[in-house]
Structure 1
Amino acid sequence: MKFNKVAKLVSLACGGVVALSAPVYAAEGDEDTVERIEVTGSRLKRVDMEGASPVTTITAEDMATAGFATVGDALRSSNLNSFGSYGGTSNNSWSSQATIRLKGADASHTLTLLDGKRMAKSPVLGGGATNINTIPTAAVERIEILSDGASAIYGTDAIAGVINIILKKDFEGVEVKVRAEQPDADGGGDNHSASFTGGLSSDKGNLMFTIEHYRKTGILQADRPYTAAHVKDGQDPSDYRSWIGLSQTGRTLDMGPNGGWEYQTPFTNAGLDCADVYGNNFTGPLGDSKYAGETSCAYDYTKAAYLDVDQERTSTLLSYSYELSEDIQLTARAYWASNKTTDISAPIPGYIEFPEAMPEYTTAEGLDLRAVPEGGAMLYRFDTAGNRVRESTDNIYDFLVGLDGTTDSFDWNASVSYNKYDVFKWGTGYQLKGATTDLVGAWNDATNTFEGWDPRNPNSEVPAGATANSDARLTSSALEMDGGLSFELFELTGGATGLYVGASYREEKLDSQVDALEEAGLIAGGSGGAGGSGERDVKAVFMEMSFPVLDNLEVNLAARYDDYSDFGGTFNPQVSVRYNVLEPLLLRASWGTGFRAPTLEDLNQSTSVGFNDVTNYLKCYEDGLGIDGCSIEDNVPVSTNRNENLGPEESESYNIGMVWDITDNINMSVDYWSLETEGLISTLVDSEITRTQAELWQAADAAGQPRPDVSAIYPGTSVSQNGAGKLTAMTNVLQNIGLSERQGVDTKFASTFETEVGDFKLGLAWSHYIKYTDSSPEGGVQTMSRNWSGTEDYPDDRVNFSANYLVGDHSLFYQADYIDHQSTTDTNDNGSSYQIDSIVYHTLSYSYTMPWNNIVSAGINNLTDEEPSFDAGGDYDSGIYDIIGRTYWVSFSQSF
């Protein structure tokens, strides 16, 4: 029997971002006429849409109706993105990126595919995850989300699940789309996009071309009331500690040891405030309720720093398919995206130590400057050098050529794919560490004037030599060749046993470099060291078997062996079962192991050095003070090195669920899942190294044995002391040290009702978290944490509900996205419990299909203009909550 070729997805869509697949049942004696399709999570084509692992589908129409401007927005809003994920916010080196975290696991534990092939990994993320900001929305046909482990099928990274982005292929004609979105709030956050798609078809094949341009403007922190500088409710505006959004590193003197270490404003004129002297971004003089008599000129960094970045993306896609013969089909794809991001941070804060006492005097403009005793310094905001501006230009290239064939005995496939991700970062407005102190001038007794730069004086120009750039160049690439055969072995009661066997070869490369000053840690406010350079190859063999034991019972086995040139091999099996108790009721279960290979950055990153405060447990033990309760801290240079001996992170996952077609128009599914991971890669807490060393000494001394080194417990680590027992240096390295346990339940419901007044589609997707624990080593022993589920940043429940009313050419859509409350500790109220409020985001949209092959749509996102839910300190998690506010959008598409 020949397997049919590519088949279209058939599902019961609920009109929103929730979709459930309706099982397809072959009529008796008619099996050869039923199309078989390939679903994410399996390489075997099958008749039934609903398999042993849960797959959620989001179509292009779903995304447009729900008002999502990008693929990243749709994925990050999903209930399956349980604890939220990074979305490209500002003031960090990741500002051009966006990720998704299925099941709340790390972003590197979710594998992202493009038409079933690995997408380019971002070197900004160390080659560990995909930047979902780069995908052109106009080219997407649908997104399939597999919420189950799948390393036995796909290899590394498929620990928590798989995102498979399916691109348009069978398209004929021309389509033009434009979209614009404007926030209700003033100042930034608006976006617009335009796309052109064209396609040609013939009896032998088709050709499709898409180009899309997307533009989004940045948002200043001052443009949103909750991030703008403001006084806490009911508190004193003259007290610095009453403010949110101000920094004392503005224009504030530190009077040093001879001045009692007091903070004071640089000027003494009674009739002037800080804004009069230094500009509108300064506030004060402000007192300090914790230190009587102190004053400062604080800096309002919210007027300079972005809350969300400025982004511009252009992407193109060319897709081609052609029947070389009746039994062989060629597919080819070329994809390119250029993503330019501008991230603006407030001017660099600095601490300028004065080489000698600074005298009091009156400037030519009449400003009375305060004297500073010897040993004093100044907390100084370098607004004179401008904001820190980091421009990131990401270019992604992705090419694929594949052949699919069929014979009377088997089907076969082979493909070659190549992707490359280039990033160039250009950062200006940074400072060279230590340079500013050397540039401070001095008082000349002979001329009775101050000569050179006086940081206290707003009219004293900062000399050249203080500023520096922070630049980086990063590249990652992957070349992969794979192929396989699928055929039927023998007949069982339920049908023919299917087998797929395949193999792949992949070459990966990473080159991550920063400029020499950045590498040496001499740039204030920069991003630190580089990811280094490295390469490796990966060989894999894999198989999948389907056993239709009975007409209503199917058992699937899958296994994969991957061999990495840098750390060795890993074997991962998977077993899954699907059982139709009744024709409309499906029970399913799966078990499997998974892994994430250490990234090339993990294995090759350059050494970075930072000065950290570390508890000196060694000194406490030697002085007889005891290890527990040690309070001696030293500021130590800590070198963080690569670890070439890292192994893979490993996982074990379970899934047990059911799918019930209650009626022809109503279905639901419930799936319980469990995910355990071990060997998670991270660095140790610095003080854990000194504590473990002290406990090793204690045990050895008690046994009368030589003292072992801490490297016996944590290879690659070290601690050095001087003769007085002070810590002088430490070495820390990445280790396979973490453990985590996660459990949850995912529920989906979809229904369609046809009435005389129109059609109604309803959808509900609910993810409930039961357990999330992780571990931390204490004295070399792993200690599991409490259950974090339901606590700050880990909401128990996320729900997407949608309702769509269709009548004639009109469609009215509503969606509600619910994020559960979380409990936390009120640090401002003696550690008592505090509850972060739950939140519901509402979306409303309307679409009209006009008679001339065009559609006009309009909508409101975040209808009630919800702000983020805040913790006790007034902070919020930008990965979970919306920071844009209420927005209005309109779109138009025209087909020819």
Structure 2
Amino acid sequence: MKLNKLHYAVSLGLGMAFSGQALAQQAQQETQTAEESVEKIQVTGSHIKGVDLEGSQPLTVLDADDIARSGANTISELMNTISQTRGGQGSFTTAQSGATSNSTPPGQAAASLRGMGPASTLTLINGRRVAASSFASGTENFVDINSIPLAAIDRVEVLATGASATYGADAVAGVINYILKDDYIGAEFNASYENSTASSDEGKTNINLVWGGEVAGGNLTVFADLYDRNAFHAKDRAFTRDPVLESNYSYLPKEVPNIYYESARDFYEIPAPECKRDYIQTEYGETICPYYSNEDDWLESPLESQSAGFIYNTMVGDLEWNTDFFYSRTKSTSISTPAAPLQTLNYTWEAVFSSPNQIYDGDGPYVPESALDIYSDEVRNGLLDNMWIDQFLTPAGQELWGFRFDSRFPTPRTVEVETDAFRLVSELSGFIGNWEWDSAVTISRSESEQVASEGIYNRLKYHSALAGELCSDGTIAAYDDSTDTLSCGAGSLAGMYNPFLVGDSANDAILALAQERPTRDGESTVYGWDFKIAGDLMEFNNDYIRSAFGLEYRQEEISDVPSENARAQFENDYRVGVFGFGSSLSEADRKQWGAFAELYVPLAENLEAQLAGRFDDYDDFGSTFNPKVALSYRPIDDLIMRASWATSFRAPSLTQAGVKLRTTTSTFDCGANQDVADLYCEGDGTEVSVNTLELGNPNLEAEESDSVSLGFGYSPTDNTTITVDYWAFEHEKLVDTNMTGVLARAIDDASLRHCGLVPNGQIGIAYNPAYCNDPALTDAQGRTIEEEGANLYEILEASNAAGLARGDYLDFNRDHILLLENTGTQEVSGIDYRFDHRFELQGGDLSLSLEGTHYLEFDRNKPGSDEIEELAGTWTYPEDIASASVFWDAEDWFAGLTAYYTGSYEDDIDGLRGRNLDELEELGALDANGEREVSSWTTVQLSTGYKFEKANLNLTINNLFDREPPLAYGSSRGFDSYNANAYGTTYRVSFTYFFE
């Protein structure tokens, strides 16, 4: 559906010129003052005021009463009450936060429409943009809704359909517009407290103040908000305290190590002496000391936020001046499972001597044999009788004798983050004749500082500590092989760290010398200017064609700068300098301008059209034009039928354009390309995941989307409303890596084939260095795998003859480097429905409502593959999401019940290990097809409140019947934290006092 951009640019320019002529004519008329004008309402989805467009588009509005009755403390909690932002993995909260750049940033949250990802949902405040978080979720930039103060929000408008024709980039799935309070008169103080009914303390405290009044001839509204939330631990609930499956164990215990199987004579892992939990037997018949991640799992991170701001409106002559400002600070801490020191010295002495201080990827570190001296002679000798004691090379260059072990560090990874955000918008508006205009400047910024405060250790220092080579000042000792002595500069030798010695303060102090505190500093800024003008364009069909035109300029900057020890760089062989923590440098900026035109056309007495088009030009990926056509038809006064079609786009995020070597994994699909299957998968159509580094691509194109919406709204009585809307999105050019495509291109493109590490600044596939170093591993013409014209099939034959790989495939090295590409599509469609009815009875009103979403399809191709995944009804993607409520409203009090429903969906059985499947078979948890469903989940919320003369008292009880989340084996937590929570019954008491 490619349209001529030049044609639309010319058409838009003619429209602007025509409007300018009309403005000049109108300017000759007497100027209307703001006092003489009637206030016109503008709704999200249109820049035209005074036209009843709310019923002609599928708009969801949460007003002040809805917000109060929701019992929400934060924007994140509020957005979880509507079906359009529930389901899938698009919206996320701090429940998914973690320690690395692949995780959700600690303390931050995002709202996503239709499960299509937060980067595909445009977040606005008062119709204008807000800076994204500088810390991306993966490579997707998003607006941290935890930084938006709930106390300042008057209402929320949600338009869940493509809206780039009106608002520009990122409105692929729609728009969420947070409308601030203004023109407030009076003062109110609110305090609330929430906690669970369990014995643990998950307390949430919220205090806010709003004041408004006349100041300097205008209205000033001031607000302040304080929020504090305690952490929520898996150990605090019976159903998350213990592992959902015994087979979910890790071989890497936390307190004392197991002895690695390759250091055992029978090649069976040797259990750690003095294990702090029960030993278990593995699927291989080994007995080990296990670790379960729920021991250190925080189901919700602690969060503190403080925010304040103001909205000021006044008249300056005939012009109205509006300014809104808010500032927020959030602090949070994220806990992740303890890191594991899985890296050790290289296996081959040739490589060791060529790079004596290099730490290579392996399975378990070495420790000197003397580590076992802490045990009795009987225990020590019993262990040694079943062990190989091998020679290994230390970072300082010593040749010691020891063995390898499996372990985790004793302390979980702890990451602290602090985010400061502010937003300032200053707007002037007025009239030129009957045309209303407004123009504003916007400055919005988000700054985040992150530090890994515990549980992160330097690679080299840790190996040095194990060998007794660490000095008291944290440096690594120098080794003189002629005298077989170690020496320190300013400090003294600290001694050997013994991972088997638990609870010894001196031993713990040695490990502390290897601790690192990597940091990450981010800043995201938006500078914007816009000008809009709206008015009646011309008479038409005994009515007027109403119109709006506008210009916008925007500059965006982002930087995400981790400390050197947290980055993968060529200089350190693409290894992060610490265990268990990694971030990626990202820096980019862009400039953009856009122009739009919008028309409201009364085609007939009962048929109206909304036509819109917007042209955007970016200094990086180029320009795009996006039109919208919407029709609304009223065959009778009580029924409106509506339809719309629009195109939208998502500009590549600045992180996707500017990220440097982000550590992740990529999957290639051997079923999508036979050559790839023959060279890398033994001819099978399997999927393989490998470690890769992602590299930002400044040449990315914009993602594109077509959206369709068809529906109706019917009001058979003044108190009854029924709406049903079908919606569909075709979303193309999604940004991801395409490992399958790169492997296919590498067959004929030698620049993508590299022996060993991919050189700095290049991209491609990393192969075993032997393909360039061994003359037996060439094609028939003697060409190595890096040379132009090399025959990869002949090199594969040579590789098989030499036994280089374990199977019939070309052998990889690690750290392939892949550019982000426009690869992938998704098609999402469904039906929204809503029913509202109010009975006006003696003594009060009884209100009934039902709203929900049914997903018809959620189809997405696997990254780098043509295979389509049908996600609707699968893991984390329920087909049905709904809520129903009944409320009684009297003059002084209200009470009501709301039921939230999440439909059943498939458990993630395909993502489980073989040992998990064996245990599930024994439990009888799988059906005849080896599958199971996560059960539907319904929780009930009770909301009640009483209105005193100058105060309100509200009580909200969530999950009234204390329903546990549905059992899900696809998550190590035992439940799906995207679609459920483990709090159980919680209560919230809120008190508001109104001052005169």
Identify the residue that residue 52 of structure 1 maps to in structure 2: 56
- Residue 572 of structure 1 aligns with an amino acid whose one-letter code is N
8 Å contact 1:193–1:214 — kept in the other structure? Answer: yes
- Residue 225 of structure 1 aligns with an amino acid whose one-letter code is A
8 Å contact 2:227–2:304 — kept in the other structure? Answer: yes
Q: 1:616 to 1:439 in 2, by over 3 A?
A: farther
Q: 1:759 to 1:610 in 2, by over 3 A?
A: closer
Identify the residue that residue 452 of structure 1 maps to in structure 2: 496
Shift of 1:356: 5.1
SS at match of 2:441: strand
Identify the residue that residue 438 of structure 1 maps to in structure 2: 464
Q: Does 1:838 align with 2:838?
A: no
Identify the residue that residue 354 of structure 1 maps to in structure 2: 366
Shift of 1:342: 1.3
- Residue 313 of structure 2 aligns with an amino acid whose one-letter code is S
Give deviations 1:661-714, integer Å, cap 9, x for gaps.
Answer: 110111111111010100000112x45533x257x56xxxxxxxx989699xxx
8 Å contact 2:418–2:450 — kept in the other structure? Answer: yes
SS at match of 1:320: strand
Identify the residue that residue 507 of structure 2 maps to in structure 1: 461
How far apart are the structure 2 equivalents of 1:776 and 1:58? 36
Corresponding residue to 2:192 among 165, 171, 179:
179
Q: 1:136 to 1:623 in 2, by over 3 A?
A: closer
How far apart are the structure 2 equivalents of 1:127 and 1:420? 17
8 Å contact 2:751–2:764 — kept in the other structure? Answer: no
Shift of 1:438: 2.6
Identify the residue that residue 19 of structure 1 maps to in structure 2: none
Identify the residue that residue 294 of structure 2 maps to in structure 1: 302
Q: Does 1:227 align with 2:240?
A: yes
Q: Does 1:878 align with 2:977?
A: yes
Give deviations 1:398-454, integer Å, cap 9, x for gaps.
Answer: 0010011113241111000100100000112201124323322489xx9xxx97332
8 Å contact 1:494–1:553 — kept in the other structure? Answer: no
Identify the residue that residue 170 of structure 2 maps to in structure 1: 157
SS at match of 1:226: helix
Q: 1:345 to 1:624 in 2, by over 3 A?
A: closer
Q: 1:742 to 1:5 in 2, by over 3 A?
A: farther
Q: Does 1:642 align with 2:696?
A: yes
Q: TM-score scaled to structure 1, two decimals?
A: 0.85
8 Å contact 1:534–1:604 — kept in the other structure? Answer: yes
Q: Does 1:754 align with 2:761?
A: no
Q: 1:180 to 1:366 in 2, by over 3 A?
A: farther
8 Å contact 2:271–2:288 — kept in the other structure? Answer: yes
Identify the residue that residue 95 of structure 1 maps to in structure 2: 106
8 Å contact 1:812–1:846 — kept in the other structure? Answer: yes
Identify the residue that residue 992 of structure 2 maps to in structure 1: 893
Q: 1:378 to 1:257 in 2, by over 3 A?
A: closer
Counterparts of 1:655-734 in structure 2, within 5 Å, are 655-684=709-738, 686=739, 689-690=742-743, 692-693=744-745, 696=747, 717-718=764-765, 720=767, 722-723=771-772, 724=777, 725=799, 726-728=811-813, 730-734=816-820
- Residue 426 of structure 2 aligns with an amino acid whose one-letter code is V
Question: Comparing 397-406 with 41-50, which one deviates more in the overlay?
Answer: 41-50
Identify the residue that residue 702 of structure 1 maps to in structure 2: none
- Residue 309 of structure 2 aligns with an amino acid whose one-letter code is L
SS at match of 2:239: coil
Q: TM-score scaled to structure 2, two decimals?
A: 0.77
Q: 1:187 to 1:683 in 2, by over 3 A?
A: farther
Identify the residue that residue 253 of structure 1 maps to in structure 2: 259
8 Å contact 2:670–2:681 — kept in the other structure? Answer: no
Q: 1:253 to 1:188 in 2, by over 3 A?
A: farther
How far apart are the structure 2 equivalents of 1:776 and 1:243? 27
Gaps of 5+ in 2: 1-25, 343-363, 391-402, 470-483, 485-493, 569-574, 755-761, 778-798, 800-810
Q: Does 1:585 align with 2:639?
A: yes
- Residue 54 of structure 1 aligns with an amino acid whose one-letter code is P
Q: 1:438 to 1:610 in 2, by over 3 A?
A: farther
Corresponding residue to 1:323 among 315, 329, 340:
315
- Residue 554 of structure 2 aligns with an amino acid whose one-letter code is R
How far apart are the structure 2 equivalents of 1:471 and 1:417? 30
SS at match of 1:467: coil
How far apart are the structure 2 equivalents of 1:654 and 1:621? 38
How far apart are the structure 2 equivalents of 1:100 and 1:608? 24
SS at match of 1:123: coil
SS at match of 2:851: strand
SS at match of 1:259: coil
Q: Does 1:401 align with 2:426?
A: yes
SS at match of 1:747: strand
Q: Does 1:119 align with 2:119?
A: no
How many residues align structurally? 823
SS at match of 2:457: strand
Q: Does 1:629 align with 2:684?
A: yes
SS at match of 2:341: strand
8 Å contact 1:765–1:801 — kept in the other structure? Answer: yes
Identify the residue that residue 341 of structure 1 maps to in structure 2: 332
Identify the residue that residue 407 of structure 2 maps to in structure 1: 380
Shift of 1:553: 1.4
Q: Does 1:80 align with 2:134?
A: no
Q: 1:358 to 1:598 in 2, by over 3 A?
A: same
8 Å contact 1:637–1:728 — kept in the other structure? Answer: no
Shift of 1:133: 1.1
- Residue 607 of structure 1 aligns with an amino acid whose one-letter code is L
Q: 1:457 to 1:610 in 2, by over 3 A?
A: same
- Residue 116 of structure 1 aligns with an amino acid whose one-letter code is G
SS at match of 1:866: coil
How far apart are the structure 2 equivalents of 1:122 and 1:593? 26
Q: Does 1:572 align with 2:671?
A: no
Shift of 1:513: 0.2
* Structure number having the greater strand percentage: 1
Q: 1:356 to 1:614 in 2, by over 3 A?
A: farther
Identify the residue that residue 899 of structure 2 maps to in structure 1: 816
How far apart are the structure 2 equivalents of 1:577 and 1:505? 30
Identify the residue that residue 270 of structure 2 maps to in structure 1: 264
Give deviations 1:176-198, integer Å, cap 9, x for gaps.
Answer: 00000011123242101001111
Q: Does 1:69 align with 2:154?
A: no
8 Å contact 2:670–2:684 — kept in the other structure? Answer: no
8 Å contact 1:82–1:767 — kept in the other structure? Answer: no
Shift of 1:522: 2.6
Give deviations 1:55-77, integer Å, cap 9, x for gaps.
Answer: 11101221221211112101123
Q: 1:380 to 1:245 in 2, by over 3 A?
A: closer
Q: Does 1:507 align with 2:555?
A: yes
Give deviations 1:50-109, integer Å, cap 9, x for gaps.
Answer: 243211110122122121111210112311114252111143452211111211211111
Shift of 1:465: 3.5
Identify the residue that residue 291 of structure 1 maps to in structure 2: 284
SS at match of 2:289: strand
8 Å contact 1:4–1:36 — kept in the other structure? Answer: no
8 Å contact 1:620–1:626 — kept in the other structure? Answer: no
8 Å contact 1:688–1:777 — kept in the other structure? Answer: no
8 Å contact 2:251–2:289 — kept in the other structure? Answer: no
Q: 1:57 to 1:639 in 2, by over 3 A?
A: closer
> Considering only aligned residues, what root-mean-square deviation do their CA atoms show, in Å?
3.3
How far apart are the structure 1 equivalents of 2:668 and 2:541? 67
8 Å contact 1:55–1:145 — kept in the other structure? Answer: yes
How far apart are the structure 2 equivalents of 1:850 and 1:501? 47
- Residue 139 of structure 1 aligns with an amino acid whose one-letter code is A
8 Å contact 1:247–1:301 — kept in the other structure? Answer: no
How far apart are the structure 1 equivalents of 2:462 and 2:288? 21
- Residue 320 of structure 1 aligns with an amino acid whose one-letter code is Y
Shift of 1:760: 0.6
- Residue 453 of structure 1 aligns with an amino acid whose one-letter code is Y
Q: 1:187 to 1:300 in 2, by over 3 A?
A: farther
Q: Does 1:416 align with 2:441?
A: yes
